[in-house]
Amino acid sequence: MAGSCLKGRFLSVFDYKTEKYIVAKNKKVGVLYRVIQLSIIGYIIGWVFVSKKGYQETDEAIQSSVITKLKGVSVTNTSESGLLVWGPEDYVIPPQGEAVLFVVTNFLETPNQKLGYCAEVRIFCRVDDLKHGRCLRKDESSNGTCEIYGWCPIERKFKPQGPLLTNAENFTIYIKNFIQFPKFKFSKSNVLETTDDSYLKKCRYDEELHPYCPIFRLGDITQRARYNFQDMSTFGGSIGIMISWNCDLDKGYSHCHPQYYFTRLDISVSNTTIATGFNFRHTRYFKNATGESYRSLFKVYGVRFNIMVHGKAGMFSIIPTAINVASGLALMGAGAFFCDMVLLYLMKKGNSYRERKFEDCRYDKQHRSTDTAEVYELAQCSDVKLNSEIYRLHTTTSLALTHRRGLRTTLTYPPPTATHTLFNCKSTAD
């Protein structure tokens, strides 16, 4: 008996169960359900697949290399420095061409500094002390300045009145960028693939005419960032150049193009910061005819360019497609659940719908302890058609079931009535 019971349970694993559907003749809920379905379908097709390309596998781990080169010449003439000619090797820092570079547009020079003792004009004193050294004064009644040992004369302190490299906005910068998406083994450059050696010598970047000529005029870069180059060149600034590669590899190699964006990085949204501009100091060392060491101290102002590369590539894959389709089907089920809640709790005839959707079944047990343990089970169900079929079968056959406790149970079925059906179970000892 135990084996028969276990066998029955094992075979029930292979039974197929399906849902029972009830058609509710309610136009309001029906329209609501169709609207929800159409909204979900529109979301899946329009947003997930068309806009976000949810059918593609993506790679955002872009590998990039940037090489820069500047061209242009400027001439300055100051009382401290005299006549100077500035080439890329002079105004580009660092000169080797990296993704971050600085272009000098203005400078203050303190020439011919030599190590020795001189007055520090920023520290005033009246007497000598151990901390600051000698106090250099014109007379005993006046304040003096402390004597220091360092590079003399000390740096001059004043604000520049305008840019010295006045034509720096006409300098050109060549930005060569190589990118690769390792997942798809795809690589490309932002330079036109051509055999014409003179192409880069005569072209300038234009989004429509020359999108693969990465040569930019500095004045055009700041103008694209909505700032004037002459205003920035006096005290300096910082410009960000972003190269974006958004490639749909399903369309092919020729549809992957670089996009350039320009922005100023040293300006806050409120435009009230006191930290605008960019400057730093560097020196040039030399020796005179007698071998004495001298240096020229330069405080340089200019524009710092930060070249940043980011991108994403996508290609069709069955896995993300299946995931997004399954998510859409799950949302369809959520729409049906919402409509059920409307029918059950928001409609006037919700109780009637609840009675047809949910069938109540009671299972009662009655126990009695005697010398011989007997169990009587009473099952009641409100399905008249089912009991009528069982009664028809009983008229031709007699069913006997053996319980695990060794009880022989004979089931008898009285004729069903129009109002209810009752199963009577009668057990006798074996």
Q: 3-state class of 163 per DSSP?
A: coil
Angle in degrees, 0-180, between the axes of helices 318-341 and 27-42, rounded to the nearest 10: 160
Return the biggest CA–CA distance within the chain. 139
Q: Give the span between the Cα atoms of 181 and 60, in whole angstroms.
A: 8
Q: Give the SS3 label for residue 27.
A: helix
The H-assigned helical ranges of 158-249 are: 199-202, 218-224, 229-235
Q: Is 183 annotated as a binding residue?
A: no
188 to 181, 182, 367: CA distances (angstroms): 9, 12, 83
pLDDT at 281: 93
Closest CA to 251 of 45, 39, 56: 56
The whole-number pLDDT of residue 379 equals 39
Is the distance from CB of 286 to CB of 295 less than 8 angstroms? yes
Q: Per CATH, is 63-108+164-267+276-316 categorized as 2.60.490.10?
A: yes
Calculate Rg over the CA atoms of the chain: 45
Rounded Cα gap, residues 124 and 144, in angstroms:
6
Nearest to 362 by CA among 386, 385, 378: 378
283: CB partners within 8 A, 6+ apart: 295, 296, 297, 298
Q: Are 125 and 140 in contact (CB under 8 A)?
A: no
pTM of the model as a whole:
0.69
Domain boundaries, the chain: 22-55+317-357, 63-108+164-267+276-316
pLDDT digits (tens, 9 = 90+) for 406-418: 434 444 444 544 4
Q: Please state, in angstroms and rounded to a whole number, the distance separating the CA atoms of residues 66 and 100.
A: 9
CA distance linking residue 328 with residue 48, whole number of Å: 10
Q: Give me the architecture of the 22-55+317-357 domain, per CATH.
A: Orthogonal Bundle (1.10)
Mean per-residue pLDDT over the chain, rounded: 80
| Token couple for 227 | 């700032």
Residue 127: pLDDT band by 50, 70, 90 thresholds? low
Q: What is the mean pLDDT of residues 182-203?
A: 92
Average pLDDT over residues 117-125: 75
Q: Apex CA 372: angle with CA 370 and CA 373, to 5°?
A: 75
User: Is 159 annotated among the ligand-binding residues?
Assistant: no
State the average pLDDT over residues 140-148: 75
Closest CA to 179 of 188, 170, 167: 188
172 is in an annotated binding site: yes
Identity of the highest mean pLDDT range in 138-142, 324-328, 422-426? 324-328
pLDDT tens by residue, 239-279: 999 999 999 999 989 889 999 999 999 886 656 666 678 89
* 229 is annotated as contributing to ligand binding: no
Residue 281 in marked binding region: yes
**pLDDT mean over 47-60:** 92
Tokens representing 137 are 């004064």
The annotation status of 279 as a binding-site residue, yes or no, is: yes
Is 421's pLDDT higher than 70? no
CA distance 401 to 419: 28
Each residue's pLDDT tens digit, 30-43: 899 899 999 999 99
Angle at 244 between CA 240 and CA 249, to 5 degrees: 170
Q: Is 251 annotated as a binding residue?
A: no
Whole-angstrom distance, CA of residue 314 vs CA of residue 333: 30
Q: Is 246 annotated as a binding residue?
A: no
DSSP state of 133: B
pLDDT of residue 362: 60
pLDDT for the residue 382: 39
